[in-house]
Amino acid sequence: MKINVTFDLTPEELRRAMGLPDVQAWQQEVFSQMLAKMQAGEEGYDPMALYQPLMKEGMNTMGQFQNMLFGLMSGATNTSTKQD
């Protein structure tokens, strides 16, 4: 038996239904401050430094995913077969 349930919600309605906080004003404030610093060319401010940790973690995750797929395709498992 297959049952499909469809909800027609906007992102705002879903956020409220899930009880998640509204962070839109905070995101806009952070973005406007970053944009102002980038436009002013503030010394010591490197916008790419903000994204460096995200890129590194994203690449690690992709590598782990590829390793998992390779393991599945090659039939490798991490289970041990101990006999008592």
pTM for this entry: 0.39
Cα–Cα dist 29/22, whole Å? 13
- For the chain, the structural domain boundaries read 11-38+47-73
Residues 69-76, mean pLDDT to the nearest whole number: 81
**Nearest 5°: CA angle at 40, between 50 and 36?**
60
| Residue, of 5 and 38, whose pLDDT is higher | 5
Confidence of residue 79 (pLDDT cuts 50, 70, 90): low
pLDDT tens, 34-60? 788 777 776 766 767 767 776 776 667
Which pLDDT belongs to residue 6? Answer: 92
Cα–Cα dist 50/27, whole Å? 15
Which residues, including other chains, have CB under 8 Å from residue 6's CB and lie 6 or more apart? Answer: none
